Structure 1
Amino acid sequence: MKTTMTARIGYSLLNVIVIVCLLFPFFWMITASFKSQLQILNPDYLFKFTPTLKNYVSVFEDYDYLKYITSSFVVATLSTLGSLVLGLPAAYAIAKYKMHNLSLIILVAKILPGISYLVPWYVIFNKMHLIDTYIGLIMSHMVIGLPFIMWIMIPFFSSFPREIEESSWIDGSSKIRTFVQMVLPVSLPGIITSSLLAFIFSWNNFMFSFVLAGEKTKTLPIAVYNFMGGTSINWGALMAAACIITLPVIIIAMLAQKYVVSGLSAGAVKG
C-alpha cells in the first residue's frame, strides 16, 4: 500500500515538473509582452510589474504587422485547400486500388527534411520568376502539406466498406458522386484533422519563407525573426509578436481538440 502511494505521489510530482517546464516559456512570453525592456531584463520583475500595451501598439503601428498576418493567412489557407483538393482524391485512389508502393513513396516524402527541397525549389522558382510570390510559397508549402494529408487520409478511405460503394454504383451513382456524397462525409474527422495540422504547419513555417519570400510576401515567422537586430533585440515587441503568432494555433488546438484526437484515433485503426 505504501509503495503504491509513493508511486502515485512520485508520478504526480513528475507530471507537475513536466507541466511547469512546458508552460513556463509560454508564461514568460506572455508576461514579457506586457513589460518594458528594462522589466524584461530584470529578474525582480518576473512576477510583479505594471502591464502595458505599448509593445502590441508598436508591433502594429511601427512594424505593420497586419500585413504579415494577412500574408501568413493567405499562404496557409490556400496551401491547405490546394493540398485537400489534390490529396483527398489521391489518397482515395491509393487506398482503394491498394497501391502500397506509392503509399511508401508518400511516407518517404513526408519524413524527408524540408531543407532538402530548398535548393531545387529556389533554382526552379527563380527560373519561373516565382520568388517573392504567393504562388511560389503556396506551392512550396503544399509539397509538405499534400503528402501529410494523404498519409492521414489513406487509412480512413481503406476502412470504408467496399460493399457500400458497390451498391451505390449499382444504383447508378458515378464513382465521383459516391466519393463526394458518401465517402467524404464519413471521413470528415480525418479531413478536419489533416487540414488543421497542415494549416498549423504552414502558419508556423519559417525555413521556406526565409528562402523563398521577400518584402511582398513576408510571413509572420520571418517578421518575428526581424525583431532580432545585430546589436540589440527589442524583447517587448518580439514577445508581443510571438504571442500574436501563437494565439491562432492555440485557439485552433482548443476548438478542434476533439476532432484531432478522434481523427488520429480513427485513422490509426484500419478496418
Structure 2
Amino acid sequence: MIIRSILKLRVIYAILFLALVVWWFPLLWLILTSVRELSDTLAYPPVWIFTPTLEHYVTVFHDSYFIQALINSIITATSSTGIVLFIAIPAAYVLARYDFKNLEFYIISTKMTPPIVILFASYLMFFQLGLLQTRSALIILHIAFNLPLGVWLLKGFFQNIPVEIEDAAQIDGCNQWQVITSIVVPLTLPGIFITGILCFMFSWMEFLFASTITGGQSLTVPVMV
C-alpha cells in the first residue's frame, strides 16, 4: 500500500512537472529569443546552443520613443490600478457584508460589454473634453473597465473573513473604518495583491483604446510595439 501511494505521488508529480514545462516553455523561448542574434533566431533547424547577446536590449533602451512609451505604460497602469483598489476595497467590503439584490449581476455585467461598443462614444467624449492623446483619458477608461473586476474579486476575499473577528474588534472599541483598515485589509492583503496584479496586467496590455485615444507623446508600449 505504501509503495503504491509513493508510485502514485511520483506519477502525479511527473505529470505536474510536464504541465509546468509546457506552461513555461513559450515564456522561456521568448526570453531566449531576446538574447539571440537575428541569424540564430531565423536559423532552421533551430539553434539551441548560441552566444547570448544584449544588443537588442541596448537598441530598445536607447530609443527615446520606446522609453517615453514605457513611462506612459507605467504611469497609466500604476495610476489606474491604485485608484481601482482605492475604490474597490470599500465597495467590495460593503457588498460582502450587506445583501444587495441583483447588484452583483449589474456590476459584473459591465465586463460582458464588448469594448468596441463604447469606443466611438468614448472618443467623442474625450474629444469634447480636450483629453484626446493624453494619459488621463486612458487612465479613466482603464479604471472604468477594471473596477468591476476589482470589486468582484475582492468581494470574494472579504466574504472569507469571519464576521466574528470584526465584531470582536468593535467590542474592543474600533469603529467601522478602523475595522476595515486594521483588520480586514491586513487579512486580505494576498487577495488585494493578486487583484492589483490582474488590474495592472489588463491595463498594461490593453490595446484597443490605447491605439485610438492616445497618440504622439502618450502612446503606450503595446501600441508602440
Change (3 A) 1:9 1:167: closer
2:209 aligns to what?
208
| Matched residue count | 220
1:123 aligns to what?
124
Percentage identity across paired residues of the two chains: 35
2:52 aligns to what?
51
2:156 aligns to what?
155
2:135 aligns to what?
134
Alignment of 1:1-271 (within 5 A): 12=14, 16=18, 19=20, 21-44=22-45, 46-62=47-63, 64-166=65-167, 168-169=169-170, 173-224=174-225
SS at 1:50 equivalent: coil
Q: Distance in 2 between matches of 1:169 and 1:20?
A: 49
Q: Distance in 2 between matches of 1:219 and 1:111?
A: 25
Deviation of the 1:77 alpha carbon: 0.8
Give CA deviations for 1:19-65 in whole Å, capped at 9, x if unaligned: 55544433332232223333322224521333222211111123543
Q: Distance in 2 between matches of 1:105 and 1:161?
A: 26
Where structure 2 has 5 or more consecutive residues not aligned to the other structure, the ranges are 1-6
Q: Which letter does structure 1 place at the counterpart of 2:67?
A: L
TM-score scaled by length of structure 2: 0.82
Asked whether the equivalents of residues 94 and 100 of structure 1 are also in contact (C-alpha less than 8 Å), the reply is no
Change (3 A) 1:123 1:181: same
RMSD over equivalenced CA pairs, Å: 3.0
TM-score scaled by length of structure 1: 0.69
Asked whether the equivalents of residues 76 and 139 of structure 2 are also in contact (C-alpha less than 8 Å), the reply is yes
SS at 1:46 equivalent: coil
Deviation of the 1:102 alpha carbon: 1.2
Where structure 1 has 5 or more consecutive residues not aligned to the other structure, the ranges are 225-271
Q: Distance in 2 between matches of 1:82 and 1:10?
A: 42
Deviation of the 1:88 alpha carbon: 1.0
Q: Which letter does structure 2 place at the counterpart of 1:35?
A: R
Deviation of the 1:95 alpha carbon: 1.8
